[in-house]
Amino acid sequence: MEKIYLDNAATTALRPEVAAEMMEILQNEYGNPSSSHSFGRTAKSKLELSRKTIAQFLNVSAQEIIFTSGATEANNWILQNAVVNLNIKRIITSKIEHHAVLHAVEFLQRKYEIQVDFVKVKSDGSIDINNLMELLSKEIPTLVSLMHVNNETGTILDLEEIAKICKQHSVYFHSDTVQSVGKMELDLQQIPVDFMVASAHKFHGPKGVGFAFIRKGLSLKPIFHGGEQEKGIRPGTESLHNIVGMAKALQVSYQNLDAERNCIQELKEYTISQLQNKFPDMAFNGATQKTLYTILNVRLPLDASKSGMLLFNLDMKGIAVSRGSACQSGSARPSHVLAAFLDEKEVLQPSIRISFSHLNTKKEIDVLIEALLAL
């Protein structure tokens, strides 16, 4: 049975050139980057070269890139620092954020009794910017936390516009950019965001590594202790092979961006046309014209009773898709993202997230469509 992977918003396949780079480090560069001898100095140079590579593609300085275990850690670290060290009294976010943000905000609200305001979500799954501006009219020390690309619907936030609005109101702006780093151009000299995060495994890099961008001039403190790595604000021996792999993955992703984006966009459009042809009563969750080329969320005209077994039945045919975030795939509850802007009946209908990469083909889409027709 041919296996078909269409869950690239959850994680992506490691590029061969990334694996080769990582193996070179694992076999030959085993020094601790904090050590002062030649082995350590060589490892340190590899570490800093990776930092410079990542910074280059975001048009920032290398000192603004801090390595972490991934975006979940980075989100928690930034949000906690905002409250504890930057004296934030209010966080404005939305109900369609990833749980790495939502649950962190809920924790901070319970522990520090901060004010939490949720910006309204429009019926197409996009953020209501007018409502955000209304919330910002109240002069409270505030951090706004809104994701760039929604991981379930692919809806794109105008990052530059929101960042500039936040600057006009003198509030901090944090964005979970996990789904856009390596898939969209991001010039952080033009986009005045204060904090953003990334995970390597979302752009064909290794799991267990990511980074935070911290705008120069903003001072954060560690949330755990035991070392002076990463300028003393993120202790722990750096995972050199993963960091080098992440930098290589980002480099290749941006070098191939135009070609791969065109290829994937064409595949997404083909998928849309096939679905509309075979399922005339289906609907898309989120505004398809404002979504990232890698993500498509589809509400199928099937009985609600089929929702529970939909993914299982596709998996039995070798097809991997999802209902939403992989981080909550074990939950039987409907997607909190879809529940934020769909009505109760629509939420109960079977929905699937199809997420593409350059490795997918039209033939695979044809197999998916046939499998859906057989349900």
Percent of the chain with pLDDT over 70: 97
When mean pLDDT is compared across 43-52, 173-182, 245-254, 320-329, the lowest value belongs to: 320-329
Q: 327, 339, 348, 369: which is the annotated catalytic residue?
A: 327
Average pLDDT rounded to a whole number, residues 315-323: 95
pLDDT at 300 over 60: yes
Pair (27, 165) in one structural domain:
yes
Question: Is the domain of 246 the same as that of 269?
Answer: no
Of residues 185 and 219, which shows the higher confidence score? 185
Q: Which of 221, 255, 289 is the last residue of a domain?
A: 255
- Confidence at residue 327, expressed as pLDDT on a 0 to 100 scale: 54
**Number of domains making up the chain:** 2
Average pLDDT of the chain to the nearest whole number: 95
Alpha carbons 180 and 202: distance in angstroms, whole number: 9
Per the model's pLDDT, the better-predicted residue between 288 and 267 turns out to be: 267
Q: 289 with 315, same domain?
A: yes
pTM score, whole prediction: 0.95
Q: Are residues 157 and 262 in the same domain?
A: no
Residue 166 a catalytic site member? no
Residue where one domain finishes, among candidates 229, 255, 281: 255
What mean pLDDT do residues 277-304 have? 92
Structural domain boundaries, residue 369? 4-12+257-373
Task: Give the number of other CB atoms < 10 A from CB of residue 323.
Answer: 20
Question: What tokens appear for 155 in the block?
Answer: 């809806």
Lowest mean pLDDT among 90-104, 155-169, 205-219, 310-324: 310-324
Do 218 and 236 fall within a single domain? yes
For residues 247 and 287, state if they share a domain: no
Most confidently predicted of 100-114, 287-301, 337-351: 100-114
**pLDDT exceeds 60 at position 313:** yes
> Are 179 and 278 found together in one domain?
no
255 pLDDT exceeds 90?
A: yes
Q: Spell out the long-range contacts of 126-135 with Cβ–Cβ below 8 A and sequence spacing 24 or more.
A: 126/155, 126/157, 126/286, 126/287, 126/290, 127/94, 127/157, 127/162, 129/158, 129/161, 129/162, 129/165, 132/92, 132/162, 132/165, 133/165, 135/92
Q: What is the CATH number of the domain that holds 179?
A: 3.40.640.10
Structure confidence by residue, pLDDT tens digits, 330-345: 455 779 999 999 999 8
Strand pairing report for 142-145 and 115-118: unpaired
**Which of 15-19, 40-44, 232-236, 354-358 shows the lowest per-residue confidence on average (mean pLDDT)?**
232-236
Q: What is the CATH number of the domain that holds 316?
A: 3.90.1150.10
pLDDT at 326 over 70: no
Angle at 192 between CA 186 and CA 195, to 5 degrees: 80
Beta-strand runs (E) in the chain: 4-5, 65-68, 90-93, 115-118, 142-145, 172-176, 195-199, 210-214, 283-284, 295-299, 319-320, 351-355
Whose tokens are 């694992």? That residue is 26
Out of 227, 255, 283, a domain closes at 255
Residue 172 confidence (pLDDT): 98
User: Both 196 and 277 in a single domain?
Assistant: no
Confidence label for 290 from pLDDT (cuts 50, 70 and 90): confident
Distance CA 144, CA 142 (A): 7
pLDDT tens digits along 134-160? 999 999 999 999 999 999 999 999 999
Instruction: Answer yes or no: do 262 and 246 share one domain.
Output: no
